[in-house]
Structure 1
Amino acid sequence: MPIDTEAQFTDVYRAHYEDVLRFVRRRAHPMNVDDIVAETFLTAWRRRRERPRDPRPWLFGTARKVMLNANRGMRRYSALAVRIQEAGQGGMSVVTVDPTASADSRMDLAAAWRSLAAADQEVLALHIWEELSTKDAAGVLGCTRAAYAMRLTRARRRLAGLLGTSAAASSALATTH
């Protein structure tokens, strides 16, 4: 669904800017966020005639590629690190039965998250924070649905293993769509 006018592009920009900004904030150093978002929308403008029907996953994929290019010299996990401190703003919550255990659970989750490989963090973040379907998340990563589903399953298992096999950990992972 090509964009033929500046007004149409402005509508797409306004509709998706906040989502792209949140996506990038979770993955990039704060000093680089504005540049990455700007480059993402510049790419969208340049490729406006190729725009898919739902541009959100495509914009996430473009932002991801911009981040990888911007951080080529850095280690992969730091280029894709998701800042767990912003989890509360992103809507992810840990389900616990005992309210006094909530702080401990969040600390355990934060530590487990930091222990995960960048690839696992990215797969889980697309599912949990960005709330993308398997098809759309696979498109962001440039892989098949089956490959994404397998990566997600493995990442969940690794995170659950780091958290322990408690019911709370299983509930937290099960309630994320």
Structure 2
Amino acid sequence: MRHESQAAPSSWPHTAEGPSPWHESERFAVLFTRHAPELKRYVIRRLGPEPADDIVAETFAVALQHLASYDGSKGNERSWLYGIATNLVSRHRRREIGLYKALSRTGADPVIEPFTDEVDRRVSAGVANRRLAKALAGLSQAHRDTLLLVVWAELTYDEAAAALDVPVGTVRSRVNRARTKLRRVLSDADPEEG
């Protein structure tokens, strides 16, 4: 795994001798505070709410284990964490595909919007969510991972490339191909289909 050879993020203070003498727990707290909430939302959208806490915890456990050797030149801390999380999500791929299949039947988005009373909008969104979930399930894992890092996690192409340890051109190509396939599948689908 590429995470094992990485050193302290460039955003952390350094002295002439190297990283400042921050305690690992302080460095970890900064990393966790900055990124845990958005990382959890990403994992919820990928796998549903049930495994999200475990995946996020495991992501930060891996990060803590490799914190001292993190190499900030390969990407920022955010893309490093999303790379770890995406690898862990890949281990749960069968569950993810199951979630997309269930979502394609029910239309219930696992990221709940609180206090929403617009029934018409929710019904329309439910149909759209089912169609989108079915289309996402039809993408290859590489295309789905790349697209969802850019769309749901809102990583830049450069950050997604660092997270996946692939060239930025590969990210651009995968996102383009995934969007093209989604457009084709969604335009072919019957809007009344449920």
Asked if TM exceeds 0.5, the reply is yes
Aligned length: 152
Unaligned runs of 5+ in 2: 1-6, 13-21, 114-119, 189-194
Q: 1:77: how far off? A: 5.5
TM-score (norm. length: structure 2): 0.64
Q: 1:32: how far off? A: 1.9
- 1:8-65: per-residue Cα shift (whole Å, max 9, x none)? 2211111111011112111124332222111111111111113337211110110111
The answer as to whether partners of 1:58 and 1:140 remain within 8 angstroms in 2 is: yes
**Equivalent residue, structure 2, for 1:147:** 170
User: C-alpha distance in 1, partners of 2:51/2:133?
Assistant: 22
Matched-pair identity in %: 26
CA RMSD of aligned residues (A): 3.1
**Equivalent residue, structure 1, for 2:27:** 8
**Equivalent residue, structure 1, for 2:3:** none
TM-score (norm. length: structure 1): 0.69
Superposition pairs of residues 119-134 of structure 1, within 5 angstroms = 119=141, 120-134=143-157
Q: What secondary structure, in the 3-state scheme, does the structure 1 residue paired with 2:49 have?
A: coil
Residue 179 (structure 2) aligned to one of 149, 152, 156:
156
**Equivalent residue, structure 2, for 1:93:** none
Higher deviation after alignment, 149-158 or 59-68 = 59-68
The answer as to whether partners of 1:68 and 1:79 remain within 8 angstroms in 2 is: no
User: C-alpha distance in 1, partners of 2:177/2:55?
Assistant: 29
Higher deviation after alignment, 35-44 or 20-29 = 20-29
Unaligned runs of 5+ in 1: 90-99, 166-177
